[in-house]
Amino acid sequence: MKVLKQSQSIIVSGESGAGKTESTKYILRYLCESWGSKMGELEQKILDANPVLEAFGNAKTTRNNNSSRFGKFIEIHFNERFSVVGGFISHYLLEKSRIYLKRGCTQFFCNKTTEKLLAEDRKSQAQKRKGPLRDPMLDDVNDFSAVDKALSNLGIDPQDRLAIYTTVAAVLHLGNIFFEENPEDVKGGCMVSPGCEQSLSIAAELMGVDPEELNQALLARVMQTSKGGLKGTVIMVPLKVHEANGARDALAKALYSKLFDYIVHRINESIPFFSSSYYIGVLDIAGFEYFPVNSFEQFCINYCNEKLQQFFNERILKEEQALYEKEGLGVKKISYSDNQDCIDLIEMKGAGIIALLDEESKLPKPSHTHFTSAVHGNHGNHFRLALPRKSKLRDHREIRDDEGFLIRHFAGAVCYQTEQFLGKNNDALHASLEALVQESEEKFIQNLFTNNSEVKQPTRGKLTFISIASKFKTHLQELMDKLASTGTNFIRCIKPNVKMVDHEFEGGAILSQLQCSGMTSVLELMHQGFPSRAPFHDLYNMYKSFLPQQLSRLDPRLFCKALFKALGLDDKDFKFGLTKVFFRPGKFAEFDQIMKSDPENLKILVAKVKKWLLQSRWKKAQWCALSNKILYRREQIVIIQKNIRMYNARKRYAPKYKGIIQIKGLQSLNSFECCLIEYFLRLGFFFDAPWLLLTIILLHSLHLALDSSTSTSKEIPYKDGSQRICLKMSTLRTLNLEGSEIKLEIGFIKYYYAFSFIWFRNYY
């Protein structure tokens, strides 16, 4: 953050129970202690938020005793001097179904030491049967004291803390209310089971509402008739047993969810910031989950982890290799598994699983079997989707095809049962319960439902409601955009064993986690790559103040090169790109430590830099002189080659050129000579320029001799003329034409010129 002048994000990821929450605590403590004002009140409040959020947002699972059942993004804000000025917490997807679902691990908030302080009439029937807490690793008494103290430090007064505990108690008592069919109701309604009236009365008292009104709101819902667009009579519709259970659970979820929102809001109010230059955000979200029974919550959690894994692939693998290629480092490409197709399967518009779930929720009579069939019908051939019977687990193979689907996630295949998908995707209260809590006599409860920080969404119309999955998808995209706008840092938590004990490592499980999270590809890339890098200008500005003025005027690239050479860094430890310098793992920290060491060491470093610069400039001068000499010789060699080629060309083509000139000079040939040449050409005698020239010259001289002679044709000495011509041709036997010795065949010449004389004789 200080170097790049950019806000940063730290993404802590790993499977459930790997230690993400504990790692987040250490990160926050380090930031507050290192950059805070000596652990002042503000820094302590930021740290006190952790036990409060854990108390209200974590729960015990089969794989983790303290599992985060929500996601949180904690921002630590800094001013321009990089001091902590405040914080902000955003939370995502609280697992509200845990409030009402019966788990196999029931525990009670007292141990053997404090059980005697609890009156017998205050113990529930389940507590009397199962006894007190048996986990020696947990101490709810001390943990509750720590949470109460943290709430006090966060500025929540005793009255508000009591209201918080009262609301939690109301939720617990709502869970003790059960229903059964009412034999006296002819409309098929239900009633509160005998023995639950006390829980109903206590819950109503804690919520500040009338017990009879609460009983009526849980057993019936209000419906208003309409005709022609006008509102009509209000009637009460009795609820069946499963519908009453759903109304009770919806009320409990709404109470606890709004209470959790209130607590997060109060924490943010206690750590405000009025101006912020940068921030460091720490993301701690539930890890990848796969249980014997996986429902809507696991679907959303694993969808979130798919998005984070894709973000990890893009930032660490895809963008890293693209940067290496852009900077020209020549690093071999690393292959990795892309999970974009799995994300498209879930969030695709129109045909994605979330879109199909929302469409099913808008139907007059939604059905989870119809929704599941639609998923398989739209994506039957998708690689990531499969039928439950293709699962490797026997329990999953017994699930019907219209009751679940199997998704092949990056961390493994998970089979989801869709029975409760529709209900969990739309957990709105019906009108009578919502109106009841809004008119509560307890101001705290009333404010929870009237002054909610979130924008109230319409719930009365099936065509206008916004589902839980859609809201989570929107919030998740906002989170991903925020992460993309910051510098990202990743922390991978690896679970060493499933027994949750120390000093025990299961190699197969660890290797599987590394492979599924993409760490093997990252480690391979880091082994041959350069994880640390800095632009030349940033590195130059970072250490410019440590150097004298004569060195600070250097070009940033030359400045970095001089520093590395002066420090004696191995060329294998760093590599220069086009705009950045890249370091091998751990080498940038060594370089930074040397640069920020004591002044005496810096003087020695400056002397080494000067020495290297002088040597570099002298070598450069030598190279320039040698380069100029090489260039001069290269130019002269070209000139010499040109002259030699010209001489050879003249020697080779001079005879041809002279012959062509002489031929052009014989423009005075009469028609007889032209006819003679044409006659020879028709006979098939082809001559090149010298032969043709020689023939024409001889024939021309012969023609002149015949024209000037007064002898008749019978008196012409043909034999003597032929001998004279042969004698002249013999002197040309070794005539040098075109640079080679051409030997003339005397027999051919005799035949040729004898034929010529015969022709002349007949002609004349």
**How do residues 456-483 score in pLDDT, each as one tens digit?**
444 444 444 678 899 899 999 999 999 9
CATH of the domain at 93: 3.40.850.10
15 is in an annotated binding site: yes
**Where a domain ends, among 425, 460, 493?**
425
pLDDT band at 697 (very low <50, low <70, confident <90, very high): low
What separation in angstroms does the CA of 19 have from each of 136, 247, 270, 563, 625?
20, 36, 27, 41, 65
pLDDT band at 118 (very low <50, low <70, confident <90, very high): low
User: Is the domain of 96 the same as that of 175?
Assistant: no
Tell whether the model's pLDDT for residue 34 goes beyond 70: yes
665 is in an annotated binding site: no
User: Is the domain of 431 the same as that of 421?
Assistant: no
Tell whether the model's pLDDT for residue 710 goes beyond 60: no
What separation in angstroms does the CA of 335 have from each of 305, 308, 522, 523?
21, 19, 10, 12
User: Is the domain of 119 the same as that of 190?
Assistant: no
Alpha-carbon distance 266 to 45, whole Å?
11
- Among 135-139, 515-519, 615-619, the minimum mean pLDDT is found in 135-139
Tell whether the model's pLDDT for residue 688 goes beyond 60: no
CATH of the domain at 347: 1.20.58.530
Residue-level pLDDT at 367: 92
- Among 255-269, 356-370, 568-582, 618-632, the minimum mean pLDDT is found in 568-582
669 in any annotated domain: no
Tell whether the model's pLDDT for residue 450 goes beyond 50: yes
Over residues 123-132, the mean pLDDT reads: 67
pLDDT band at 555 (very low <50, low <70, confident <90, very high): confident
- SS3 call for 380: coil
In one-letter notation, the amino acid at residue 251 is: L
597 in any annotated domain: yes
Tell whether the model's pLDDT for residue 283 goes beyond 90: yes
User: Is the domain of 582 the same as that of 538?
Assistant: yes
Average pLDDT over the chain reads 79
731 is in an annotated binding site: no
Give the closest residue to 177 by CA, choosing from 93, 256, 246.
Answer: 246
Tell whether the model's pLDDT for residue 350 goes beyond 70: yes
- Among 363-367, 524-528, 530-534, 728-732, the minimum mean pLDDT is found in 728-732
User: Is the domain of 413 the same as that of 431?
Assistant: no
Domain span at 285: 8-153+272-289+303-321+472-522
- Among 274-278, 280-284, 533-537, the minimum mean pLDDT is found in 533-537
User: Is the domain of 414 the same as that of 563?
Assistant: no
672 in any annotated domain: no
Residue-level pLDDT at 698: 59
Tell whether the model's pLDDT for residue 667 goes beyond 60: no
User: Is the domain of 463 the same as that of 476?
Assistant: no
Give the closest residue to 167 by CA, choosing from 204, 200, 207.
Answer: 207
Tell whether the model's pLDDT for residue 689 goes beyond 80: no
**Identity of the highest mean pLDDT range in 78-87, 523-532, 725-734:** 78-87
17 is in an annotated binding site: yes
Higher-confidence residue of 626 and 291: namely 626
pLDDT band at 416 (very low <50, low <70, confident <90, very high): very high
698 in any annotated domain: no
Give percent above pLDDT 90 in the chain. Answer: 32
- Among 240-254, 382-396, 483-497, the minimum mean pLDDT is found in 382-396
Residue-level pLDDT at 170: 94
Q: Please spell the DSSP secondary structure of 63-118, one letter per residue.
A: S-TTEE-SEEEEEEEE-TT--EEEEEEEEE---GGGGTSPPS----S--HHHHTTS
Domain count across the chain: 4
CATH of the domain at 633: 1.20.5.4820
Tell whether the model's pLDDT for residue 764 goes beyond 60: no
Tell whether the model's pLDDT for residue 182 goes beyond 90: no
Over residues 77-87, the mean pLDDT reads: 89
User: Is the domain of 116 the same as that of 104?
Assistant: yes
131 is in an annotated binding site: no
CATH of the domain at 432: 1.20.120.720
520 is in an annotated binding site: no
User: Is the domain of 373 the same as that of 457?
Assistant: no
352 is in an annotated binding site: no
Length of the chain: 764
In one-letter notation, the amino acid at residue 242 is: H
Residue-level pLDDT at 463: 42
Alpha-carbon distance 464 to 144, whole Å?
42
Q: What is the pLDDT of residues 429-442, one digit of tens each?
A: 888 898 899 999 99
CA angle 454, 456, 457 (to 5 degrees): 120
Alpha-carbon distance 32 to 50, whole Å?
13
Residue-level pLDDT at 723: 57
Give percent above pLDDT 70 in the chain. Answer: 75
pLDDT band at 105 (very low <50, low <70, confident <90, very high): very low
- Token pair 């006190």 is found at 48
665 in any annotated domain: no
User: Is the domain of 388 the same as that of 512?
Assistant: no
**Identity of the highest mean pLDDT range in 563-572, 603-612, 628-637:** 628-637
- Among 190-204, 288-302, 474-488, 597-611, the minimum mean pLDDT is found in 597-611
Report the sign of the C-alpha dihedral through residues 449, 455, 458, 463, in that order: negative
574 in any annotated domain: yes
Over residues 621-635, the mean pLDDT reads: 91
Residue-level pLDDT at 462: 45
Residue-level pLDDT at 248: 92
User: Is the domain of 431 the same as that of 414?
Assistant: no
Residue 195, Ramachandran bin (φ over 0: left; ψ between -120 and 50: alpha; else beta): left
Residue-level pLDDT at 318: 84
CA angle 687, 689, 693 (to 5 degrees): 90
- Among 78-87, 470-479, 657-666, 732-741, the minimum mean pLDDT is found in 732-741
Q: Which two tokens stand for residue 401?
A: 């095809």
Integer Rg of the chain from CA: 48
Over residues 626-634, the mean pLDDT reads: 91
Are 577 and 328 in contact by the 8 Å Cβ rule? The answer is yes
**Where a domain ends, among 401, 425, 449?**
425
**Where a domain ends, among 656, 680, 713?**
656
Alpha-carbon distance 456 to 449, whole Å?
10
Are 166 and 206 in contact by the 8 Å Cβ rule? The answer is yes
Higher-confidence residue of 680 and 358: namely 358
Over residues 165-182, the mean pLDDT reads: 92
What separation in angstroms does the CA of 79 have from each of 2, 87, 274, 346?
11, 12, 10, 40
Residue-level pLDDT at 179: 92
Higher-confidence residue of 275 and 422: namely 422
Tell whether the model's pLDDT for residue 69 goes beyond 70: yes
Q: What is the pLDDT of residues 723-755, one digit of tens each?
A: 555 555 555 444 444 433 344 444 444 445 554
71 in any annotated domain: yes
pLDDT band at 455 (very low <50, low <70, confident <90, very high): very low
| DSSP letter (8 states) at residue 183 | T
218 in any annotated domain: yes
Residue-level pLDDT at 746: 42
Residue-level pLDDT at 441: 92
User: Is the domain of 40 the same as that of 142?
Assistant: yes
350 is in an annotated binding site: no
**Identity of the highest mean pLDDT range in 205-219, 597-611, 646-660, 714-728:** 205-219
